[in-house]
Amino acid sequence: NLREPLKRAGFLTRDARIVERKKAGLHKARKAPQFSKR
């Protein structure tokens, strides 16, 4: 049974990181359009 050592090593936990959604007015989730002072 390999479950215990895997659990201790952290292989059985769900990784909840998902892709952040693209926002209106931005190129990607965080990448803003090129900024110009003037």
What pLDDT was estimated at residue 22?
A: 92
> Within 10 A of 4 (CB to CB), how many other CB atoms are there?
9
Q: What is the pLDDT of residue 19?
A: 93
Distance CA 33, CA 11 (A): 39
For the segment 1-38, what is each residue's pLDDT rounded down to a tens digit? Answer: 788 888 888 888 888 899 999 999 999 999 999 989 98
Q: Write the CB contacts of 37 (distance below 8 Å, at least 6 apart in sequence).
A: none
Give the pLDDT score at 31.
92
| pLDDT for the residue 30 | 92
